[in-house]
Structure 1
Amino acid sequence: MKKNNVLFLLVWVLCSSFTLHKFYMAIYQVNHNVAKKRLEITARIFVDDLNSALDKKYKTKHFLGTDKQSSTDTEDLKKYLLDQLKITVNHQGKPITFKSSELDGNVLVCYLNCADVAKVTQIEVSNTILTEVFDEQENMMHFQFNGGKQTLVLDAEKTKGMLK
């Protein structure tokens, strides 16, 4: 009997060491386009995580990135992103516009922008995308403005950041 317990314990340890740990990260690139006077935002988010977040928020099943994707799925995505992502430039809140999205493997690439941004001295951002669903979610935000590059990593505990 003891031999069976030891064997079970050994098999359990080996199996558990090979299980995959889900990776919760989204990558955002925010560029200041001086010529067009706007911030251009590209968000790369795992599509299955987005579907889970939309399912939870809107209490219905979503099918982003599949042949079952509906216009309601797209509208819910747009509302969700615009509700969860806020940008303030030079102490002025800037409305974000959802432009489009496309599937790249298992990642949904979303294109957004903020118009009427001629000059940037300070950017404040609040990003709660997926943090209400996944405690381990990290939103890595890369910013390019005034000839420099800076990065913020936001998560469920730290959802806001500021750059100068």
Structure 2
Amino acid sequence: MFFFLPAGLKKSDKHPLHVSTTEINFNAKEKSLEITCRIFTDDFENVLAKQFKAKTDLSKPAMHKAMDELIKKYMNLNLQYILNGKAAKASYVGFEKDNEATNVYLEIDNVSALNTLTVNNTILYDLFDDQMSILHVEKGGVRKSTRNNYPNRELSVSF
């Protein structure tokens, strides 16, 4: 997903939109769900600092390992999955900064089929009361999308 700045908003200004996007791709060959969460970097650094009472900088290579630990903890606390009616746990793969956003990569292994998926998403909910969460799930070329707004947490798709 791409984020566009509204007319008149400079790159240095705070963005008026509070949104995170989660893309999930069912990889049938690898029997896994490949997950990418895209979060505005400034908001992400703020929520990590607030939640873990730690200095955060997602741009500094010297802090990458420390940021990995904070992001892994944060994602485990704020994203839960129910896959085909059963709780599933995602493994943290890593993160990278991409312009104004940070991409966080996760994976759920041993997924033989994807029929239903519910994601309980509270990313940035403790920072903004106008937070929006968007979920895109792709399986075999079919893409399903849904969104919700704070305080709703649950996003579901069925194939």
TM-score normalised by the chain length of structure 2: 0.84
1:156 aligns with 2:150: yes
User: Does the 8 Å contact 2:40/2:100 carry over to 1?
Assistant: yes
Distance 1:96 1:152 in 2: 20
Alignment-mate amino acid for residue 38 of structure 2: R
Distance 1:110 1:70 in 2: 13
Alignment-mate amino acid for residue 99 of structure 1: V
SS at match of 2:107: strand
Alignment-mate amino acid for residue 44 of structure 1: R
TM-score normalised by the chain length of structure 1: 0.82
State the 1:87 CA deviation.
0.9
Distance 1:136 1:150 in 2: 23
Aligned length: 147
User: Does the 8 Å contact 2:118/2:157 carry over to 1?
Assistant: yes
More helix by share: 1
RMSD of aligned alpha carbons: 1.8
User: Does the 8 Å contact 1:47/1:65 carry over to 2?
Assistant: no
1:91 aligns with 2:85: yes
State the 1:68 CA deviation.
5.5
Distance 2:62 2:129 in 1: 28
User: Does the 8 Å contact 1:127/1:154 carry over to 2?
Assistant: no
Alignment-mate amino acid for residue 141 of structure 1: L
1:106 is matched with 100
Residue by residue over 1:105-132, the C-alpha shift from the partner in whole angstroms, topping out at 9 and shown as x without a partner, is 1211111111111111111110001111
Aligned structure 1 segments of 4 or more residues deviating by more than 3 angstroms:
18-21
Considering only CA atoms, is the larger Rg found in Structure 1 or Structure 2?
A: 1
Question: After superposition, where does 1:32-111 map in structure 2 within 5 Å?
Answer: 32-67=26-61, 69-111=63-105
